[in-house]
Structure 1
Amino acid sequence: MRKKIIIIIIGILVGLVSLLIIRWPASPIGTNAENIGMNATYHEQQGYEQFVKQLPQQTWNKMDLSHPFYMDKGGLHRVIRDCEAYITVSELLVNTEETEEENQKEPIEEPQPQEQRKQIALTFDDGPNDKSTVQILNVLQKHDVKATFFVLGINVVKHPEIVKQAAQQGHEIASHTWSHKNLTKLTPAQMHEEIDRASNAIFEAIGQYPTAYRPPYGAIDENVRNEIKVNSVLWNIDTMDWKHKTPAKTLESVKLHAKDRSVILMHDIHQETADALDAVIQYLKQENYEFVTIDELYQ
């Protein structure tokens, strides 16, 4: 009787041991899993990128990617936990302490693309004038704004120091001919006289010749273009300051028509234009315009 009891107990123990062996998640033969520290963990994305994608095509064809991958140094071919592929795990173990530290770091914000600023060119014709042009230069300097002055040769010789001051402040000095004659009504010789005399006066004042000119009244045709090889510059916003001579109307014209790469026409010989300039600049700055010279605009 005692032997039967012993045999039954031994049978139960054998059964329990067998059951434990079957259910125990043993490491595959040839692995070094027992040497892995408790602070190591499997990095799934890294495993996929570095190992699964590198498998031969024939292995891919046999794999059902809906099953998990069991990473094993030995590359065994027996099914464990419904896994169908076995690849090296040693390089996929990461330190959880380092991972936690990385997770705690603040995310790096990518720089946002800067908004492209609109450009606009302020231009002044017919000067210089010893009062209004000087006031305009002071306003421009106050706002750190650069402009382009299309000067008349006959006024340059009267006030060369004002032209020089404008150039020293970084403004562009261009030609508006010698005496504001309509070039389309002149002979070729007369055209060249108007351009050349103005260019020479500008050179005497600032030491360099102008690279652009504005034809008086905006009057230009093929004959003028063929004779005058200097770059001609017109405008696309006429404030009509010469006509209404009202600062508020000058500002309103700018508000209505300003857009990217606009060329604004004003006249620095009028006091009302000088009085309007501060408000014009403040408005354009609020609208995020960048002030450029004609040379900068057409680069």
Structure 2
Amino acid sequence: MHMNVKKCVIPDCAMGSWLQVTADQLINCRLEEVTLETECANCTISSPIGDIPGGINGSVSHNLVTIVWKESLREVQQCKLKLVETGIARRYLTNNSEIERIRDVEQQLDFVYNTTNKEYCNSSEKSYKQVIGMDKVILRLHSLTDTNAHLSKPLEEDIEKIADIIRAEISGAAHSQYARDRTSDGKKGVAREIRALQCENRVLAHKTAIATAQHRGWLAASYLNLPTCRKLIATGESISVSQCSPKNSTITTEITSCGPQPKLGDYTLDTEGWELTPYNPCYWHKNFVNINDRAHFYKNSSWHPIVPGVIIQ
């Protein structure tokens, strides 16, 4: 006898089973125990949902997750070192032998620290230095001859990295120190340049006075702002000061073939305008005379000071 048999293929995803009921399940709340870590009472708290700002007590919520804790359950652990930052920095000395400064130009960070070596957290090394102005922040310095020495320098395996917020706070304080130091260095640099310029000016004034005093002692004295009636007398690179006594005199004028000539008895004014010299009918030319370092011209039977038309700054 022949029979026709139909075969039905049921996909695996649609395979049924006897005596089972499928239903959805909704979780409204789940309670889980977690561990929170902080460095101090008001320091940043490290949690599974991220860093929690310090100063928050009792609970905090973030993205439908609420963390609740009790201060009475806080456990104090032993001191433990955590890594904040590594880098290559330049070392700067200060006027105080017990205080130094390092600068990381790449990260724009400055740290001022005490040069005394101390031991922290019962570590095997005693080469840590306390950062001034930053509590619980210390430095471990290695003197390098080149950058390769830094790259091959291994860090301690038991040193953990610090929380991001705490790292940002420390970096922010170090960057503020960097900005203050850069401003201070700039002011000191300007002061050094001013002192160097003043020194150059004094040297130039000294050389100018010596050179001028070789021929015009009264003019050289005025360059150095010496009191009136002081005259420089140059002998080689040495200068002596001659002090004279002022005396008021009435000067007459004699007209010669060379023009008006100031005259006082058998003398006339010297070219420097402060002392007398033997009279010569053609001592002065072109109607100009130097009287006490001031140019004068002759007009209407009198000598008048010349008012400059162009003043050079």
TM-score normalized by structure 1?
A: 0.19
Richer in helix (by share) = 1
Richer in strand (by share) = 2
Greater radius of gyration (CA) = 2
If asked which structure has higher relative contact order (CA below 8 Å, sep 6+), I would say 1
